[in-house]
Structure 1
Amino acid sequence: MTLAPDNALSRWLVSEEVIRKWVAAANAGSRGQLIHKHRPLKTIRGPIIVDGSSMEGYQLSPDNYRRYDQPVRIFALMNTDMAVGLYQYWYPRLSQAWGELGIRDKSFHQVVLEAIDQVLAAPEVEGPIQLVRPSVYYKFADPSLEKLPGVQKLMIRMGPDNATRVKEKLKELKEKLQAIPVQQPQQEQNQ
């Protein structure tokens, strides 16, 4: 049995330093941030896709949402029980890598749950999303969207249908993660 059909998830994973990269991603995600360097997953290729022009204004294009369809579909099809089993199996190594960061006020398990909560807190935005381009990069025209944490802005950029699928899977994962007894290695217990 595999984590996702046709072992499709493995094509999105970066194979070097996997444990440390997942720990760094969870740590950043718990604060709502995205990591741009040393990601545990491959990046969606290509620039953001917009409709409109500088004269009439820009909108986030539905074609941009489709860029996320494949990885979101694979994530949504992921076997949750197997993912949780792998998490439990690798937890001692994850916890050890967490300890290397020197953060002592919480366990890695707490950080993972906080990262999930950050994604789940992303607002649901329907309809056209207006953008501005004050320089090279596009920004949300709505200041309340632009000030959101990076992981929540990513959820908006992937579109409402994909965001819903990701949130559904994360709710399922969170429920199972909260129910497991995570063995705290001695190093993490003493923090």
Structure 2
Amino acid sequence: MSLAPDGALSRWLVPDEVIRKWVAAANAASRGELIHKHRPLKTIRGPITVTGSSAEGYQLSPENYRRYDQPVRLFALANTDAIITLYQYWYPRLAQAYSELGIRNKSFHQVVIGAIDNVLAAPDVEGPIQLIRPSVYYKFADPKLEKLPGIQKLMIRMGPDNAARVKEKLKEIKAKLEEMPVQEQTQ
């Protein structure tokens, strides 16, 4: 079963330890965090693209948004029903891998819904995004944006059009997930 035409989306997946990586990513995203090691998806290549200088100030460049165009386009085109079918098929293994983390207060299904909610809560930011560079890494100049969870900052870094496409697809997925009865595995 393919999620996107020609298996193009699968080229973004990291092939080893897939179940554990997706569980770790969903668990981190449910807390608003991004995982940097052991990601289930390949990292977007290249450094962040900015305009401006230290004298005049930095802005996140629209060129930076284009780095996310291909994976976002593929995700937006992914067949939602196929995503749900694969989720249902793999759910027992996902739930087992989640239980191995020793977290008992939520089901993996609740974690996935929470992760989606965190992404959907990312603010929509239009216009130039001001940055500062107090050290090696750039930060948002707006303290409200800089205090956002990592998953929401990622949504801003991918640009308003890409963020809107991701949110639209996640709303479709969430609606289907909320309709779905999930049987938790008993230990």
Which bin holds the TM-score, normalised by the shorter protein?
over 0.9
Written as runs of structure 1 = structure 2, the 5 A alignment for 1:96-111 is 96-111=96-111
Letter in 2 for 1:149: P
Consecutive unaligned residues of structure 1, counting only runs of 5 or more, are: none
Provide the rounded CA distance (Å) in 2 between the counterparts of 1:2 and 1:97. 23
Deviations along 1:25-72, one digit per CA (max 9) or x if unpaired, are 000000000000000000000100000000110000000000000000
Q: How many residues align?
A: 187
Whole-angstrom CA distance in 1 between matches of 2:124 and 2:178 = 25
Alignment match, 2:117: 117
% identity of equivalent residues = 81
Aligned equivalent of 2:82: 82
Partner of residue 35, structure 1: 35
Question: Gaps (5+ residues) in structure 2?
Answer: none
Aligned to 1:14: 14
Quote the residue 1:168 is aligned against. 168
Map of 1:60 onto structure 2: 60
Give the aligned partner of residue 141 of structure 2: 141
Write the deviation string for residues 59-86 of structure 1: whole angstroms up to 9, x where unpaired: 0000000000000000000000010000
Give 1:186 shift.
Answer: 1.1
User: How far has the Cα of 1:6 moved from its partner?
Assistant: 1.2
Secondary structure at the counterpart of residue 44 of structure 2: coil
Q: In the aligned structure 2, how far is the partner of 1:111 from the partner of 1:88? A: 15
Aligned residue identity for 1:160: P
What is the distance in 2 between the residues matched to 1:92 and 1:122?
30
TM-score, normalised via structure 1 length: 0.97
Taking the aligned partners of 1:82 and 1:155, their CA distance within structure 2 comes to 24
Distance apart, 1:140 and its partner CA: 0.1
Residues of 2 paired with 1:145 and 1:79: CA distance? 32
**Mapped partners of 2:186, 2:138: distance in 1:** 46
CA–CA distance in 2 between the matches of 1:55 and 1:184?
A: 56
The 2-side partners of 1:44 and 1:110 are apart by 28
1:117-146: CA deviations, max 9, x gaps? 000000000000000000000000000000
**Normalised TM-score (structure 2):** 0.99
> Matched residue of 1:186: which SS?
coil
**CA distance in 1 between partners of 2:90 and 2:12 (Å):** 19
Amino acid at match of 1:23: V
Alpha-carbon distance in 1 for matches of 2:74, 2:127: 25
Partner Cα distance (1:22, 1:153) in 2: 20
After TM superposition, the runs of 4+ consecutive aligned structure 1 residues lying more than 4 A away are none
Alpha-carbon distance in 1 for matches of 2:3, 2:138: 35
